[in-house]
Each structure stands twice: as structure tokens, then as C-alpha cells.
Structure 1
Amino acid sequence: MKYIKRTNILQFLLLLFVLSSCTKEKNIPITAIKDAELPKDSLPKMRPLTNETPKLTADYINSKKAEIDVFYRRNWPSNSMNGGFLVAKNGQIIYEKYEGYANFRDKTYITSNTPIHIASVSKVLTATAVLKLVNAKRIGLDDLVTVYLKEFPYPKVTVRMLLSHRSGMRSYAYFTDRDKSVWDRHNTLTNQDILTIMATKNIGLEQRTGTRFAYCNTNYAMLALIVEKVTKMSFGKAMSEMIFKPLAMTNTFVLDFDKDKKKVAPSYKGNRVEIGIDYLDKIYGDKNIYSTPRDLLKFDRARNSPNFLEPELLKQVYVGYSNEHPGTKNYGLGIRMVNWPNGKNFYFHNGWWHGFTSSYIPLKDENTTIIALSNKFTKSTYAVRKIAPLFGDYPFKVEDE
């Protein structure tokens, strides 16, 4: 009996070794083995960062507040801001302003609880959801996209390439714009429509896969579909369960276009003329997340917490993937960066969609967060980077126009 039991144990261990070896040799995608590692209904969730220290002194807050206020009055003279602006250190808000109208027709004021379309800053949140799924071994960072989206027509594109804009795909806004045989602009485009069009309408690549960086919204529309495929939830539901609810981001959501398109704050040109809805306004992943500066601060603190990602994966987020030519500008996995020769790095992501503009800046070395959102078009939103020198050695001048 003892001999039989020992034999069975040895056979079992041998089987495990063989299976492990086969997995390594054949490079089986993570999705092929993930069901054995995690329950099907489990989702990785963000965890809030609480009780941050050191606590800021009143003297420090008042000093920085005065300096930021000088910038604010120069950047948005005569109460010209139409949105929200926040600066925080160690998770503690130093400066915060909300001005203007969420809706000029109704004279509804923007407050700290007013959700505003964050445009391409949405990519940072989409990338975060994907990275959490990678961390949980539900997605393989170097898996081919075809592992998840069977009809995806570009066989060499990986998840990492989507995150870093190296897929070579064309922007969906371009290949659906004029040719009615590809898409009739009287119909609202969806993420699945984009995939189907690329698979059936012979949409060629802009450049060969993996050869260079080219910022392209199509990448993040496809990442949203991958999140849906892996979680078996709508993108909005998955984002809510993984990020928004755990972090108490109570004023943040992915737009439910059919249900809420007339309820959210509209966007405006610089002259306050409202910008209407068009056929591209249903696409999500690259855009279509609504949030507030306070909610984005909660997100930022969680994203910079020790338990956000495993260290080796986290390092890859901040590696530059767009350095074909010498320069300081670069793009990581869902985050823009400037890498100066002296070793100082500046991380950020800006956004623009219709009249919405946004800027998210985590000063990682200084534990400082800068956020600006507006629903009336202005480039002043992007100028908030000039506050960085108030906290660290960044070559931006606050007084620059």
C-alpha cells in the first residue's frame, strides 16, 4: 500500500513537471491557464491609500497656496476658468477651485461633485484596469490581441503594443470619416463596430506593427473590448467594480451613451457655443470617462500605493516605448513622460475631446498631484504643468505663457 501511494505521488509530481514544461515551451497564453488560478468571478480591485504621512503643516499649505494662487490668476484671468482645478501633496489638498457652468443654458454651476468628461486622461484609467488584470494573470502583457479578440485582423499586435501605441493601427476617426462603404456617419459607431470594420473592410495598417510609436485612439478602444472579454462584463461595469467603487469614486463613471448622453455636462467652444454629439461619442476606453478632480486624486493615490502592482510589472509601466529618435518626450504603458538628460522624469497625461480638456500630473518624486478639467475649450488646462517647479526640480517656468 505504501509503495502504491508513493508511486502515485511520484506520478502526480511528474505530471505537474511535464505540464509546467509544456506551458513554458509552447508559450501558452495566460488565458489558457488562468481559470485554474483564479475563480471565474474574481476581479482584481484597487485599494485606497489611507493615512498618508507626513501631514502638511499649516505654514507649508499657506505658503504653497499663495504661490499656486499667483499662477491661477495669471492662467485663468477674470474668472475665465470653466471647470475644476486641484493640487495635493501626500493626498492632502493644498489648492482647489471650481468655477463656471456645467451647463450654460441651465446656469448649472460646476462644483466639486460635477462629473466632467476627462477625454484622453481616460486612457490612464483604462490602462490601469488592464494592468491590474495582467497583475492577476488574467491577461498576458505580451499575449497577441487575437488571443482575446478572435476577429482582430493584425496578427502581430500584442497587448503591450496597444498600451504603448506601437500597434501601427489607423485611427478609427479617419477610416470611418468619409467613405460610406466603410461606415455611414448617420449611425453611431461602437467599439465592436470598429473591430468588425477593421476585420471586414480591409483597413490597412498606418505603419508596420512594432516599428514606431504613433498615438492612436483605436488602441484603447480595443483594450476596452479586451477588458470586457476577460471580465465578462461591460466596460463600465468592470471599471466600476475594479476601480470606481473600491476607491469611493462616487462621481466617476463610463458614459452610458444611450441612457445618459443628455444628462451629462455638455462641452463648449471657447466662445461658449455648445458642441453637439456626433457619431464617435459612444466609443470608450480611449475617452468617455466622466470624473472630478477629487475622484481622480483618490485614483492617483491608489495608483501610487505600494500594493498597486507587483514591482517588476510596475517598472515596465514607466519605461519609454517611443524612443526611435533622440528626444525627451516618451510614452509608457498608459502614461506620457518627459525624460530629461539629468535623470529627472515628468509623468503626465493630457486630454482633449470636443470642448473638454484635461490634465493629470503625478509628480512621483514629490508625492504631489495636479489635476485640471474643463468643459469649455481652453489650452490653459495644459499649462498647469508649470506648477511643477514649486515642488521639485522641473525645468518649467511658472510665469511662462
Structure 2
Amino acid sequence: MKMILIKKTNILQLLSLILVLSSCNQKNKEGILSDNELPKDTLPHMEPPTKKLPKLTAQYINSKRNAIEHFYNKNWPNNSMNGSFLVAKNGQIIFEKYEGMANFRDERPITATTPLHLASVTKIITASAVLKLIDAKKISLDQKVNTILPNFPFPEVTVKMLLNHRSGMRNYAYFTDKKDGVWDRHDILSNKDIVNLMATKDIGLESRTGTRFAYCNTNYAVLALIIEKTTGLSYKKAMERMIFKPLGMNHTYVFDYEKDKDTAVTSYKGNKVEIGKDYLDAIYGDKNIYSTPRDLLKFDMARSNPGFLSPKLLKLVYTPFSNEHKGQKNYGLGIRMINWETGQNFYFHNGWWHGNTSSYITLPKEQLTIIALSNKFTTKTYQVKKLAPLFGDYPFKLSKDEKEE
């Protein structure tokens, strides 16, 4: 009987050891966990707003809707937009439109649930995740990047400099495009490849760190790696856990090159010629989130929530860091802005990748959200800023045709 008890004890101990080793092996060589869920309390996450904003009157909605519809019809006559468009105030949709094809070959239409490529509007979502990690003291704003990513080659660059584009790094799309052996463009480039190339191929800085603003996609590709290192999750899984799932963004996802390249919404030139994928299409953080205007409205409302960040950090988000010389156009922590001498401020981010163009406008003062997305190249996506004067004192001008008579 004693021998049997001893054997059972040994078996239990062996099983416990196997479980411990299995748990330890959930991380891959880069320290990224598998898809097994972490305990819910280990990651900071965005939350839907708890305070309800005043309900808009039917009269107010109708008056604004008519003006927006007139603007829309003048800019995209004969159903020519091929994309998604939404205007909302106080979280309430005043106007939305979905037109054209996600894929012209199989005539798959764009609807309210069709995720379109956000291009650089992705940056504001990446920045939001990083800011939540900073607020939770998982990392710090002024922390040197090489203390998080040991092989990062530029010792003076901080997390803050990545967020506000003052790192001085070169754009990965340029230094990997050279025909000097830096990268074989037949191979798909990854975020880790970018850092490894900068560390091993003598990829110098474009300008001295911290001396000037220079918009650069490399900054946000590196921020995605910081999210992975800090959370122990892939960027895709971290964004799901921290932002998409908590906010109910059910039609938003991070593009996975191998899994999604044949099923994601197709990108087109202005003449409907399809634009294929290339070696840069696997990079994430600076781009490669697909979403819908309704999901982005949920995201925008959560960012407008007083509990999004601590007051001190939130103030820095909307502080201009790009004004070496006094000017109106500036960049904060993950967001573009126009600052007029009148004290009025306009906050936004545009995007362009292949044939995808995007515009995200967030005006906290008016609780206004404007979103335009298109998968067929057009610069008209960026003209939606002209709608801001319908809601506040902004010096954008509608043309005579765009004004409602």
C-alpha cells in the first residue's frame, strides 16, 4: 500500500512539473506568448465612455445631414467614392454612406461592416496602446528604446521620440529599396528585420536624434515591437486585448500577411486597376489595421473619455512637438494637429497606402468625429475636413458648389 501511495505522489509531482514546463514554453524565442489568454488584469485596456452626451434633436440632425449630403454629392458624384464615410456628434451618427466595391472582380460591395485598410490612421491606434502602457507604468515616456529592445542601435532615441517623430531615423521603405544589398525585395520584410538591418547594415540616422520633426513610418514599426515586448503578446493579439475587444470593435483587425493577403479588401488605383501586395505589406504598427467607420467611432468615443489617460499624459498627447519654427501644422503624440493663433485647434490623422486613403478627424471641443475611408485612390478623402465649419469656428472653406444653397 505504501509503495502505491509513493508512486501516486511521484506521478502527481511529474504531472505538475510538466504543466510548469508547458506554461514556460508558451513563449516563443522572441518572448511572445501563444494565443493562450493572459489573465485579464495584466494588461491596461481602453474602455467605452460611461458618461452619456446630450442627445441631438431631430431638427439639428436633419439640418446638418442635408448640408453634409450636399457636400458628399458634389465631391463624389454618381456614387464614385468607393469607400466609407461617417460624421457623428456626441457619438450619434448624423450621416453615413457606404458605396462601391471591396473587390471589383467578384463584385463584393462595401457595406457598414466591411473593414478597409486604415493606412497611417493605424498610427493613432498604435499610439493609444503605447500610451495606455505608459499610463499603467509598464514603460515610461522618456525611456530609452534600447532598454526595451536590446538590439536597437540608436541609444538616444526614446519612446516619446518615436511617438512624436523626432527620432531622426530613416524611413524603412527607402533604405530597403536600394539596390545595394541591404534587402532582397523578393523577401517579405518584417518589423524585426527593420531593427536588425539598422543595427547590422550601417543604416545611419537621417538627422541627429531629437533635433527636428520628420514624419517616419519606421518610428511606428518600432513602437509595435515595443508593444510586443512589453505585453508578451503579438501586436495583433495585444491590440485585440487592449482595444478592439473591450470597445466592441468587431469588424477591426490587424492584417496578417500570410493569412489575410488573399481575403482582405483589394486596393485599386483611381482607374480601378488592382494594386498587388509587395515586400512591405507585412509591416504593422505604422499601417495594416483594417476597420470600419462605426468601429472607429467607438474608438474615438473611448479616446474622448476622461478616463482614457491621466490628465498630465493626456495634455502631452495634444501638445505640439514639431514646431521648431512657429507654424500652424504640428504633431503631438500620435496625432496631427493644426494650431491657429486664435486658440482653435484641429486634430486629425490622414493615411495613404497603395490605393487606400483615409481621414480621421476628432474634435473634442465639439465632440465631433469625421471618418472617410477609400480603397480606390483619391485625394478627395482628405477634403472632409471642410465639414468642420458646420460645427465650429474652423477656417476651412467650402467651394461655392459644395455649399448648400
Cα deviation digits, residues 32-75 of structure 1 (max 9, x gap): xxxxxxx9970001101256221011100000000101110111
Q: Which residue is equivalent to 1:223?
A: 223
Q: Which residue is equivalent to 1:389?
A: 389
- Counting only pairs closer than 5 Å after superposition, residues 292-303 of structure 1 correspond to structure 2 as 292-303=292-303
Cα distance in 1, alignment partners of residues 389 and 202 from structure 2: 49
SS at match of 2:42: coil
Q: Which residue is equivalent to 1:69?
A: 69
Structure 2 stretches lacking a partner, 5+ long: 1-38
Distance 1:217 1:312, change over 3 A: same
Q: Which residue is equivalent to 1:329?
A: 329
Cα deviation digits, residues 372-397 of structure 1 (max 9, x gap): 00000000100000000000000001
Cα deviation digits, residues 130-189 of structure 1 (max 9, x gap): 000000000100000001110000010000000000000000001000235210000000
1:343 aligns with 2:343: yes
Q: Which residue is equivalent to 1:246?
A: 246
- CA shift for structure 1 position 371: 0.3
- CA shift for structure 1 position 204: 0.4
Which amino acid in 2 is paired with 1:113? T
SS at match of 2:192: helix
SS at match of 2:185: coil
Contact 1:351 1:359 in 2 (8 A): yes
Q: Which residue is equivalent to 1:188?
A: 188
Cα distance in 1, alignment partners of residues 146 and 235 from structure 2: 19
Cα distance in 1, alignment partners of residues 52 and 105 from structure 2: 41
- CA shift for structure 1 position 327: 1.0
SS at match of 1:346: strand
Distance 1:180 1:339, change over 3 A: same
Q: Which residue is equivalent to 2:33?
A: none
Cα distance in 2, alignment partners of residues 174 and 110 from structure 1: 33
Q: Which residue is equivalent to 1:236?
A: 236
Question: Which deviates more, 172-181 or 261-270?
Answer: 172-181
Q: Which residue is equivalent to 1:149?
A: 149
Distance 1:48 1:40, change over 3 A: closer
Q: Which residue is equivalent to 1:205?
A: 205
Which amino acid in 1 is paired with 2:214? A
Contact 1:71 1:399 in 2 (8 A): no
Contact 1:172 1:217 in 2 (8 A): yes
Which amino acid in 2 is paired with 1:334? G
Cα distance in 1, alignment partners of residues 296 and 229 from structure 2: 26
Contact 1:49 1:302 in 2 (8 A): yes
SS at match of 1:162: helix
Contact 1:144 1:155 in 2 (8 A): yes
SS at match of 1:88: strand
Contact 1:357 1:375 in 2 (8 A): yes
Cα distance in 2, alignment partners of residues 137 and 40 from structure 1: 17
Cα distance in 2, alignment partners of residues 180 and 281 from structure 1: 21
Q: Which residue is equivalent to 2:281?
A: 281
- Counting only pairs closer than 5 Å after superposition, residues 14-163 of structure 1 correspond to structure 2 as 42-50=42-50, 52-163=52-163
Cα distance in 2, alignment partners of residues 299 and 348 from structure 1: 14
Cα distance in 2, alignment partners of residues 46 and 231 from structure 1: 15
Cα distance in 1, alignment partners of residues 51 and 164 from structure 2: 33
Cα distance in 1, alignment partners of residues 183 and 121 from structure 2: 27
Runs of 4+ in structure 1 deviating by more than 4 angstroms, as ranges, are none
Contact 1:362 1:368 in 2 (8 A): yes
Cα distance in 2, alignment partners of residues 358 and 52 from structure 1: 28
SS at match of 1:128: helix
SS at match of 1:132: helix
Structure 1 stretches lacking a partner, 5+ long: 1-38
1:360 aligns with 2:360: yes
Q: Which residue is equivalent to 1:256?
A: 256
Contact 1:372 1:381 in 2 (8 A): yes
Contact 1:250 1:295 in 2 (8 A): yes
Q: What is the Cα-based RMSD across aligned positions, in Å?
A: 1.2
1:309 aligns with 2:309: yes
SS at match of 2:197: helix
Number of residues of Structure 1 aligned to a counterpart in Structure 2: 363
- CA shift for structure 1 position 193: 0.3
Cα distance in 1, alignment partners of residues 140 and 295 from structure 2: 29
Cα distance in 2, alignment partners of residues 240 and 252 from structure 1: 9
Give identity over the alignment, percent. Answer: 69
Cα distance in 2, alignment partners of residues 250 and 50 from structure 1: 20
Cα distance in 2, alignment partners of residues 89 and 171 from structure 1: 36
- CA shift for structure 1 position 104: 0.5
